[in-house]
Amino acid sequence: MLSKNNIKLIKSLEHKKYRNQQGLFVVEGVKNAQEFLNSAYELSHLFTIDTNFSLDDTSKISYISYDELKKISFLKTPNVVLALFKVPVKQCIIKDGLLVGLDSINDPGNLGTIIRLCDWFGIQQLICSDDTVDCYNQKVVQATMGSLTRVNVVYTDLKEFLKTYQNPIYGTFMNGNSVYSSNLTSNGIVIMGNEANGISSEIEKLISCKISIPSYNDTHETESLNVATATAIVLSEFKRR
């Protein structure tokens, strides 16, 4: 049976404050849960309506009804499994290779997609400003489709990090040089800016190479690209080189 305390705890994890207090976050769906179960993340407890779903540690699994799953799920249509995992200890940043930096990304869907893109393009380090949306927000976790288990997401003072960063710092701007003709290196960091305001002025001062994605629309009525879409295009060009 699902207790009232279980329901209260899980629902509280919608908020970053309580995720931090409890050190827990929610993963929903069979595929997502399996990705995390097969990773270094530590399971706290798993709730499922599938009686064939099993764990080696039977004390960490509860079989519940679909109605009970609906009470704790954050999805419109609950997906068989809801698991609680422990938020891991913050990892060190490895500065070698190509990194992605995010300056105040607000939308959970955008962050989730960017994490998935980093996984696809082999980017192991994602450096987020402290005010970027929490990667353990359930909407972010859902959007990553398990990629969060393979990308090290670090929150830090982005300005201070870039001040000591020794490799090229690329930034995406509307007036930058075309990414297709720019000199791109295999070691560096690509900064993507806020959905509404782009890269902040204090971060812009630290950029060593401004790049852009040229528009081929003669009307120029489209002002900009979605930040996740722009990330996909930029990373594709870096890796193509």
For residue 70, the enclosing domain spans: 4-86
d(CA 232, CA 175): 19
Predicted confidence at residue 222, as pLDDT, reads 66
- Out of 60, 86, 112, pick the residue that ends a domain: 86
Question: What global pTM score does this model have?
Answer: 0.94
Establish if 93 belongs to a structural domain: no
Say whether both 78 and 104 belong to one domain: no
Report how many domains make up the chain.
2
> Residue 122: which residues within 8 A CB-CB, separation 6 or more?
239
Say whether both 39 and 114 belong to one domain: no
Establish if 37 belongs to a structural domain: yes
Establish if 31 belongs to a structural domain: yes
d(CA 167, CA 164): 9
Predicted confidence at residue 157, as pLDDT, reads 97
Which among 154, 103, 161, 109 has a CA at the least distance from the CA of 132?
Answer: 103
| pLDDT tens per residue, range 120-142 | 999 999 999 999 999 999 999 99
- Give the percent of the chain with pLDDT over 70: 98
- Out of 46, 61, 86, pick the residue that ends a domain: 86
Say whether both 210 and 137 belong to one domain: yes
Along the 241 residues of the chain, how does pLDDT read in single tens digits? 799 999 999 999 999 999 999 999 999 999 999 999 999 999 999 999 999 999 999 999 999 999 999 999 999 999 999 999 999 998 888 888 999 999 999 999 999 999 999 999 999 999 999 999 999 999 999 999 999 999 999 999 999 999 999 999 999 999 999 999 999 999 999 999 999 999 999 999 999 999 999 988 876 666 779 999 999 999 999 999 8
Say whether both 68 and 112 belong to one domain: no
Q: Are 78 and 66 in contact (CB under 8 A)?
A: yes
- Out of 26, 53, 86, pick the residue that ends a domain: 86
Establish if 92 belongs to a structural domain: no
Say whether both 72 and 102 belong to one domain: no
Say whether both 140 and 214 belong to one domain: yes
What CATH number is given to the structural domain containing 192? 3.40.1280.10
Establish if 212 belongs to a structural domain: yes
d(CA 11, CA 72): 6
What CATH number is given to the structural domain containing 40? 3.30.1330.30
